[in-house]
Amino acid sequence: MTRALLHSLGIQLRVIHALLMREVLTRYGRHNIGFLWLFVEPMIFTLGVTALWTITKSAHGSNLPIVAFAVTGYSSVLLWRNMPARCINGLGPNQSLLYHRNVRPLDIYASRLLLEAIGGTTSFLVLSLLFIGIGWMEPPEDVLKIALGWILLAWFGASLGLFLGALSEQFELVEKIWGPMSYLTFPLSGAMFMVDWLPPAAQEVLLYVPMVHCVELLREGYFGSMVRAYYDIGYVVAVSAVLSLLALAQERRVSRGLVLE
């Protein structure tokens, strides 16, 4: 029983690795910097937003260092937002690979999610180290808290990605709605504010948004006693766990009914 499970796990890891390597090549190719685009692309995004926020002083009403605020905020947005973006209609271009029996839709989603997580994390790390190195950012106060916030956010993003990805195979509407949804939820995701700055009524509403808790936790890790963070780890875990279950159920449903060309 355990042996069979380990054997299956071995196959699955092998397949995800194969898909990951293939995805890197088909997405970034071999020209110019190749796979480095994986994290250079989000880095450029974050750099641009950091520059914009610095110029417009977007973290208004606070004395927090703007560069660190922007890097932690926008990196978080990229992490949870790119995962669903890559999963929605994600099976189409890879569908013919399903002719290899061990390649299942879940593996395709997993490889895409993993790639986004690697890209987003590397971008965040490289930018942070770079800015700390040149003195634009102070070193963080509590790396473990940052890691926990980041991992929770990645889990939430992955479950949302898998859920919406699998749902989009059944309902075309998902793709249409995700664009405006992701755009509209961005300002609500905690990237551009600390909950503490808001009036109590707004705080209450925004603390229903799972991303807000993760970003608050991450920023507490970064800024320590400079900020007062509001978060409930139990809430994020509960939301992500339920969403993961729904996502896996939907993935299974889609996977069983899949019609290949």
Partner 1 sequence: MVTIDNVTKRYPTRHGSITVLDGIDLQVAPGERIGILGRNGAGKSTLIRLISGAEHPTAGTIKRAMRVSWPLAFAGGFQGSLTGLDNLRFICRVYGASEEDKIGFVEEFSELGRFMREPLKTYSSGMRARLAFALSMAIEFDCFLIDEVITVGDARFHEKCRRELFERRGDRAMIMVSHEQHIIKDHCSRASVLREGKLQHFGDVDGAYSAYSGA
8, 29, 179, 242: which one binds partner 1 (CB under 8 A): 29
Pick the closer one to partner 1 by CB: 99 or 234: 99
Distances (CA, A) of 128 to 51, 107, 108: 15, 31, 30
Q: Does 249 bind partner 1 (CB under 8 A)?
A: no
Q: Does 22 bind partner 1 (CB under 8 A)?
A: yes
Q: Does 8 bind partner 1 (CB under 8 A)?
A: no
CB neighbours (10 Å) of residue 93? 11
Smallest gap from Cβ 99 to partner 1, in A, equals 5
Q: Does 188 bind partner 1 (CB under 8 A)?
A: no
Q: Where are the alpha helices (DSSP H) in the chain?
A: 2-28, 37-56, 66-87, 105-133, 143-170, 173-185, 200-206, 210-223, 233-257
Given the rule CB under 8 A, which of 65-73, 95-103, 179-187, 222-230 is the region that contacts partner 1?
95-103
Smallest gap from Cβ 62 to partner 1, in A, equals 46
Q: Does 103 bind partner 1 (CB under 8 A)?
A: yes
Q: Does 18 bind partner 1 (CB under 8 A)?
A: yes
Q: Does 96 bind partner 1 (CB under 8 A)?
A: yes
Question: Could you tell me which of 14, 25, 2, 165 has the C-alpha nearest to residue 101?
Answer: 14
Pick the closer one to partner 1 by CB: 1 or 259: 259
Question: Could you tell me which of 188, 193, 228, 234 has the C-alpha nearest to residue 211?
Answer: 188
Distance between CA 71 and CA 124 in Å, rounded? 7
Q: Does 256 bind partner 1 (CB under 8 A)?
A: yes
